[in-house]
Structure 1
Amino acid sequence: DGELYAGTMNNFQGNEPIISRSLGSRTLLKTDAFLRWLSADAAFVASFSIPGDDKVYFFFEETADEFDFFERLLVPRVARVCKSDVGGDKVLQKKWTTFLKAQLVCSQPGRFPFNVIHHAFALPRRDGGADFYAVFTSQWQAGRAGSAAVCAYSREALEEVFEGKYKELNKESSRWTVYSGPDISPRPGSCYMGPSSDKALTFMKDHFLMDGKVTPIQGQPLLVKTDVTYTRIVVDETRGVLGATYRVMFLATAEGFLHKAVELPGGSHIVESIQLFKTPEPVKNLLLAPGKGILFVGYSGGVLQVPLANCSLHRSCAECVLARDPYCAW
C-alpha cells in the first residue's frame, strides 16, 4: 500500500527513537517522545508485517524504567501498532493510538537472563500464524567468555500478553504498578476503526506497557552456544526424505562464521559451521532466496552467495546420517 513503517532515531544526537508511518496518503503517525513511550536509548533490530494481519511488530532493546535496579538494566521488547490507526482528533493528534510494548523473556533456570537482543526473524506458518526467532546475549558477560541464545516466540504468545493487564506509573511514588481499575473501551492497543473518546485516548497515553512477559516456545531457549555472539538469524523450512518438515536456523556470528542448526525433538543441533571470511569480521545481513537453495550474506566488502546445503562434504552413508542435515540424504 506504499506506506513506510520505521523504527529509527528522529535526530542526529541519537536520543529520540520513534516508530513512524509515512509516505502513504494517510496522516503521518509517530510515537510521542514527550510521553516516553520509548526510552532514549531504544535500539531497533527488526520489524515485521505478517500477511493477513492488521498489525506491525517491532523488536528492540531499551533501558527498563519499570524495575528498581542498581545499574542500567537492558530489556528486550516487542512493540505493536495497528495499520488501521489514524491517530487522535484532539488528544494524540498525529500520534499512534494503538502503540503497546511488552518484555521478551529468554533465559535458563539459575542463569543470568539473555537480555540483549541482536536480531529477529519472522517465519510464517501454514496455518496463517507466525513464529518469531531472535538471537540474544547477556549484558552480564565480558568479551567472548559469554554465551549466545536463540529463543522463538509464537504470535499467539505475543497476542496473549498484549490482551492482558497493563502497567501504569504511580505519579506519587514514581513506581510502576499493575493497573487494576475499570476496563476502558476501546481497549488500548485494539485495532478499533471508529473514533475514540478523549477520555479513552488520555488513558492510552499512560497505558502502553504490558504487565505480562512474552515467554518463548517450550519455555526455554532453542539453542545456547558458548564463546560466540550471533549477529543475524534466518530460518528455513525444508522437507526431509521421509516427508517430515524440519526448521533450519542459519546463524551469523560477530567473527564471520555461519552456523547451521536444525531443530530436532531432543533439541537443536548444529550440523555445520562455515568460516565465511579469511579475516574475522561481523556479518551485516542474511537473506534467504526462496526456492533457490541459496543464502545471501552481506558484509562490509560486499555480498556472498552460500548454498543452504553442502552435501558433497559427506563421503559415506554413515557420515551423512551422523551429520543429521535434513537437506542431505544418501
Structure 2
Amino acid sequence: MPPWVVGRWLALVMVVCAGAESVPRITFQRGDLSRSVNVFSRSDIQHYDRLLLSADKGALYVGTRDHILQFSMKDPGNIQLTREISWASKPDQIENCKSKARKEAECLNFIRILLFYNDTHLYACGTNAFSPNCIYVDLNTFSLLANQKNETVTVDGKGQSPFDPQHTHTGVMVDGELYTGTMNNFMGNEPIILRSLGARPALKTDASLGWLHSDASFAGSFYIQDGAGRVYFFFEETGKEFDFFDKVTVSRVARVCKGDVGGDKVLQKKWTTFLKAQLVCNHMDNVPFNVIRHVAVMSPDDPQNTIFYGVFRSQWQVGGSSSSAVCSFRLRDIESVFSGNYKEQNKESSKWTRYTGPVSSPRPGSCSAGKFSDTDLNFMKDHFLMDEKVPPVGRVPLLIQQSVSYTQIAIDSVQGLSGPYTVMYLGTDGGSVHKAVIVKGDPESSHLIEELKLLTEPVQTLLLEPTKRMLYVGSRDGLLQVPLVNCSVYRSCFECILARDPYCAWNVPTQECQMVPWTLENRDHWLQDIEKGNPNSTCLSPNMRGRSPRPGHHPDNPPTRVANYSQAYNSIVELQCPRLSSSATYSWRHLGQLVETQVVTPGGSLVVIVRSDTLGPYECWANEKGFSYKAAQYWIKDPSGVGVSHRWHLQPGQ
C-alpha cells in the first residue's frame, strides 16, 4: 500500500476514533479588559525565544536575536527591562553567510542556549551567522566575560547550538557540563547528542553507527538525579526499524548517564550508555500522533513520580488541517523499557528484530559504576534501540485536538479543594494559549478552561512562574506576561463552578469567586467541582450554609444582553445571542415558548421578520451541565405604537 494511501486512511481513522473535539469553554481576545496581559516589545528586538528564571525568581533572562535581556520580577504585574547585552554577528560573518546562499535575515545571531553556568555566570550560545559560538555572561555586571586583553571569551558552539535558526535544539546544564541535542553541521543533516564543557572529555553520539537518523528533531532534555544521574532527550526521527512504510516518523526518548566517561579503545569519546526507545501517543492503538513537538516535566526531583508531558502532531494530515494530542509518560515506565529487551538489525536482511541472546552484567548501557568491557561496548554499537515501546499514562492521550496544532506546553500543579490538579498551558501555531485541567479518574478527559488569543504568529516558548502565578509567552515580536488566575471574571457561584478552574473556588461568606488560598483554613466556606462542574449539585446543595440562591434572583448572574426594537413591518431584525460558553447549548424562546419556525444562523442569531405575530419578548437561554441561564432578552415592539396583548411569564432557571 503506498504511503500516501496509508496516511489518508490513518487520518480518517483519527477522525472516527478520536470522537468529538474538545473546545475551550471561554475565549478571550487580546485587549479584553477581563483578561489582562502585559506586553514588552521593541522594534529593534525580535525572536524572544529563550526564557530563563533566576533561582530566587527575582529576574527573568531572555535570549532574543542579537540580544540578551534581563527583566525585573519584583513587580509581578509589570514587565520591566533592567539590563541588556547586544551580541550580534560581525559584518564579515554575515557577508560570508550570505555568500553561501543564505538570506540576510538568517545570517544573524539567534540565541539558542541560555542556561546558568554557575551562581555567577550565564552560558549562552547563538547561531552567529551559521557559525555558532558561545559566551559567558557575568551576572554582577551583566556583561560578556572578557580575558585580560579585554577580549570577549568565546567558545566554539558547534554541537551546542544549531547552525540554522530553523533547526530544533535542546540543552541542559549539569554541574558545569552542558548536554545538548542539535544539528552538528551547516547542512543540517548530522544530529548530535553532545556533552561538553567541564573537565572531562567531550562525549557524543556516533554518526557512522546510525544512532540518530539524519532528520532527527529535538523537543526537550531533562536531568533526573536518582543516584546515578541520567539525562533524557526527547526527539522525533524517521524510524529505520519500519521497513514497510516510506519514512515513517517516530517519537523517541533517549538516555545517557552522567557518569559515562567513554571507552578506551572502543567508542572513544563516544557515549557508552546511549539508549533510545519509541514513545507511543495513539488513541486506542489506531491513531498515530507520531511527531513530538515539545515536552515539559512534572516532579523532576521525585523520580518515583516524575511524569513527562508532550505535545504531538500526526505525520499524516488531510487537506492541510492540523491535529494535535497531549500524552504523558511516567519516568518509571521509560526506565522499565530501558531495562527490557534490545532490538538488533539483521546484517543481511536489514530487518530489525528482538535480541534474544545473552546479556552480560553489568547490563550494557546501564548507569553502572565503572567502565564496560570492549565486548560490551561492541555490543552497544549495534544494540542502542529498545524493543518495547513506552506507552502513555492511561494508554490514551490526555487531550486530542483535530483542528489545532500545539507547539509548546507548560505544566503547573494546583492545589484544589479535593487535592492537587495538573493544569496544562498549551501554545498553538496560531498564537493562542489553551489552559486545560486534567480531570481525575478519567485518563481521556481534559477540560479546556479557556483560550487566550494573544498573537498572530506561533507561540515560540512558554515559561511558568507558579510562585507569582504568571505565565510568560515568547514570540517573534514580543514577550507577554499572563496571570494564571482570573477568578473575578466569574461573577456568580454558577459561573465559578462551571469554569472548573482549580485555581478558583466560590467563597460562600463573601459571595465571590476567588483564588484558592495557599493555606485553606475553613474548607466549608468554599465550593469547587472540577470533576463534574455541576452548579446545581454544588451551589444549591441543601447542606451548604450560605448557599447561592437560584439564578435570576441574584444580581451577579451571567450578564444578560437587553435591547428593544421598533422597526417597520416586513423588515428583518437579527437578534444576537452572546456565546458566554462554548460548552453550553443555546435556544430561543418567544412569549415563553421555544422558537421553532424562525431562522437561526450558524452563529446562533435569530432572524425575525417583523409581523404582528412576531412582536413581543424574545429570550436566548443557555444550558450547561443541566443549569440554565438567560444570555439575552429583547423586545420587538409594534411600529405603530400599539402594545402587545400577549401575556407571558417565564420562571427563572426554567
TM range (shorter): over 0.9
Of 452, 459, 465, the residue aligned with 1:274 is 452
Q: Which residue of 2 aligns with 1:237?
A: 413
Q: Which residue of 2 aligns with 1:79?
A: 254
- Distance apart, 1:304 and its partner CA: 0.5
- Distance apart, 1:329 and its partner CA: 1.2
Higher relative contact order (CA 8 A, sep 6+): 1
Distance in 2 (CA, whole Å) between partners of 1:76 and 1:89 is 32
SS in 1 for 2:215: coil
String of CA shifts for 1:143-182, please: whole Å, max 9, x gaps. Answer: 5534210000000110010000000011011111111111
1:326 has 2:326 as partner: no
Q: Which runs of 5+ in 1 are unaligned?
A: none
Note if contact 1:254-1:282 (Cα within 8 Å) is conserved in structure 2. Answer: yes
Q: Which residue of 2 aligns with 1:37?
A: 211
Residues 1:149 and 1:256: Cα distance change in structure 2 (over 3 Å): same
> Which one has the bigger strand percentage?
1
1:69 has 2:244 as partner: yes
SS in 1 for 2:287: coil
- Distance apart, 1:51 and its partner CA: 3.7
Distance in 2 (CA, whole Å) between partners of 1:96 and 1:261 is 39
| Higher alpha-carbon deviation: 47-56 or 246-255 | 47-56
String of CA shifts for 1:92-123, please: whole Å, max 9, x gaps. Answer: 00000000000000001264300011101111
Distance in 2 (CA, whole Å) between partners of 1:45 and 1:84 is 24
Q: Which amino acid aligns with 2:313?
A: T
Of 287, 295, 320, the residue aligned with 1:120 is 295
Q: Which residue of 2 aligns with 1:262?
A: 437
String of CA shifts for 1:13-38, please: whole Å, max 9, x gaps. Answer: 00100101001111100000000100
Note if contact 1:188-1:208 (Cα within 8 Å) is conserved in structure 2. Answer: no
- Runs of 4+ in structure 1 off by over 6 angstroms are none
Note if contact 2:273-2:364 (Cα within 8 Å) is conserved in structure 1. Answer: yes
1:96 has 2:271 as partner: yes
Q: Which residue of 2 aligns with 1:3?
A: 177
Q: Which residue of 1 aligns with 2:344?
A: 168
Distance in 1 (CA, whole Å) between partners of 2:467 and 2:196 is 32
Q: Which amino acid aligns with 1:228?
A: V
Distance in 2 (CA, whole Å) between partners of 1:126 and 1:9 is 29
Residues 1:215 and 1:249: Cα distance change in structure 2 (over 3 Å): same
Distance in 2 (CA, whole Å) between partners of 1:6 and 1:126 is 21
Note if contact 1:186-1:200 (Cα within 8 Å) is conserved in structure 2. Answer: no
Note if contact 1:283-1:298 (Cα within 8 Å) is conserved in structure 2. Answer: yes
Residues 1:126 and 1:188: Cα distance change in structure 2 (over 3 Å): closer
SS in 2 for 1:212: coil
Of 348, 361, 364, the residue aligned with 1:185 is 361
Distance in 1 (CA, whole Å) between partners of 2:418 and 2:225 is 26
Of 400, 406, 421, the residue aligned with 1:246 is 421
- Distance apart, 1:193 and its partner CA: 1.8
- Distance apart, 1:125 and its partner CA: 6.3
- Distance apart, 1:244 and its partner CA: 1.1
1:19 has 2:193 as partner: yes
Note if contact 1:17-1:42 (Cα within 8 Å) is conserved in structure 2. Answer: yes
Please report the TM-score for the alignment, with normalisation by the length of structure 1: 0.96
Q: Which has the larger radius of gyration?
A: 2
String of CA shifts for 1:22-64, please: whole Å, max 9, x gaps. Answer: 0111110000000010000000010001244510000000001
String of CA shifts for 1:268-324, please: whole Å, max 9, x gaps. Answer: 1001111112xx210000001131100110000121001111112112110010000
Distance in 2 (CA, whole Å) between partners of 1:115 and 1:70 is 14
1:294 has 2:470 as partner: yes
Residues 1:110 and 1:48: Cα distance change in structure 2 (over 3 Å): closer
1:46 has 2:220 as partner: yes
Of 371, 383, 386, the residue aligned with 1:207 is 383
Residues 1:145 and 1:110: Cα distance change in structure 2 (over 3 Å): farther
Residues 1:127 and 1:194: Cα distance change in structure 2 (over 3 Å): closer
Written as runs of structure 1 = structure 2, the 5 A alignment for 1:308-327 is: 308-327=484-503
Residues 1:52 and 1:178: Cα distance change in structure 2 (over 3 Å): closer
Note if contact 1:50-1:124 (Cα within 8 Å) is conserved in structure 2. Answer: no
State the aligned residue count.
327
1:108 has 2:286 as partner: no
1:142 has 2:326 as partner: no
Note if contact 1:256-1:283 (Cα within 8 Å) is conserved in structure 2. Answer: yes
Please report the TM-score for the alignment, with normalisation by the length of structure 2: 0.49
Note if contact 1:259-1:273 (Cα within 8 Å) is conserved in structure 2. Answer: yes
Note if contact 2:225-2:301 (Cα within 8 Å) is conserved in structure 1. Answer: no
Question: Percent sequence identity over matched residues?
Answer: 60
String of CA shifts for 1:212-260, please: whole Å, max 9, x gaps. Answer: 00000001001111200000001100111x2511110000000011100
Distance in 1 (CA, whole Å) between partners of 2:215 and 2:244 is 17
Note if contact 1:8-1:19 (Cα within 8 Å) is conserved in structure 2. Answer: yes
Q: Which amino acid aligns with 2:296?
A: F
Distance in 1 (CA, whole Å) between partners of 2:427 and 2:315 is 19
Distance in 1 (CA, whole Å) between partners of 2:406 and 2:289 is 12
Distance in 1 (CA, whole Å) between partners of 2:476 and 2:180 is 23
- Distance apart, 1:186 and its partner CA: 2.6
Q: Which residue of 1 aligns with 2:234?
A: 59
Note if contact 2:224-2:300 (Cα within 8 Å) is conserved in structure 1. Answer: no
String of CA shifts for 1:159-212, please: whole Å, max 9, x gaps. Answer: 010000000011011111111111123312211221221111101111000000
In angstroms, what is the RMSD of aligned CA positions?
A: 1.4
Q: Which residue of 2 aligns with 1:159?
A: 335
Residues 1:170 and 1:128: Cα distance change in structure 2 (over 3 Å): closer
Of 202, 216, 219, the residue aligned with 1:28 is 202
SS in 1 for 2:389: strand
- Distance apart, 1:127 and its partner CA: 4.7
Q: Which amino acid aligns with 2:256?
A: V
Q: Which amino acid aligns with 1:230?
A: Y
Q: Which amino acid aligns with 2:192?
A: I
Distance in 2 (CA, whole Å) between partners of 1:21 and 1:126 is 22
Residues 1:126 and 1:79: Cα distance change in structure 2 (over 3 Å): closer
